[in-house]
Amino acid sequence: MSESQNLMEKIVSLCKRRGFVFQGSEIYGGLAGTWDYGPLGVALKKNIKDIWWNMFVESRDDMYGLDAAILMNPKVWEASGHVSGFSDPLVECKKCHHRFRADQLEDVTKCPDCGGGFGEVRQFNMMFKTEIGATEGAISYLRPETAGGIFVNFKNVVDSFHPKLPFGIGQIGKAFRNEIAPRDFVFRSREFEQMEVEYFVRPEAWEEAFEAWRKGVHAYNEAVGISSDAVHELEVADGDRAHYSKRTIDFEFDFPFGRKELYGLAYRTNFDLSAHQAGSAQDLSYKAEGEEPVVPHVIEPSFGVDRTILAVLTSAYTEDELGGETRTYLKFHPRVAPIKAAVSPLVKNKPHLVEKAREIYNDLKKQVPQIVWDDNGNIGKRYRRQDEIGTPWCITIDFDTLGETPELKDTVTVRDRDTGEQTRMPIAELSSFITSKISL
Ligand code: GAP
For residue 185, give the nearest of 329, 10, 43 by alpha carbon.
Answer: 10
Please tell me whether 306 is known to bind a ligand.
Answer: yes
In this structure, are strands 297-304 and 258-267 parallel, antiparallel, or unpaired? Answer: antiparallel
Contact of 190 with 33, CB cutoff 8 Å:
yes
Q: Is 192 annotated among the ligand-binding residues?
A: yes
Per-residue confidence (pLDDT) for residue 323, from 0 to 100 = 86
pLDDT at 1: 66
268 lines ligand 1 (CB under 6 A): no
- For a mutational test of ligand 1's pocket, the pick from 255, 302, 306, i.e. the residue with the most ligand atoms closer than 8 A to its C-beta, is 302
Could you tell me if the CB of 307 is within 6 A of ligand 1? Answer: yes
Which domains are present in the chain?
3-72+144-314 (3.30.930.10), 339-438 (3.40.50.800)
340 lines ligand 1 (CB under 6 A): no
Residues of the chain with pLDDT under 70: 1
Provide the pLDDT for residue 345. 97
Whether 178 has a binding-site annotation, put simply, is yes
196: Cβ below 6 Å to ligand 1?
A: yes
The answer to whether the annotation marks 191 as part of a ligand binding site is yes
Predicted local confidence at residue 2, as pLDDT: 76
Strands 139-141 and 167-176: unpaired
Answer whether 0.85 is exceeded by the pTM: yes
Nearest CA to ligand 1 atom 25: 188
Q: Is the minimum distance from the CB of 333 to ligand 1 under 6 angstroms?
A: no
Q: 145, 186, 259, 303: which to mutate for ligand 1, most atoms within 8 A of CB? A: 145
- pLDDT given for residue 251 in this prediction: 98
Q: Is 264 in the pocket of ligand 1 (CB under 6 A)?
A: yes
Q: Whose CA is closest to 145, among 209, 80, 90?
A: 80
Q: Identify the bridge partners of residue 395 per DSSP, sorted by sequence position.
A: 343, 414
Q: Are 299 and 210 a contacting pair, CB within 8 Å?
A: yes
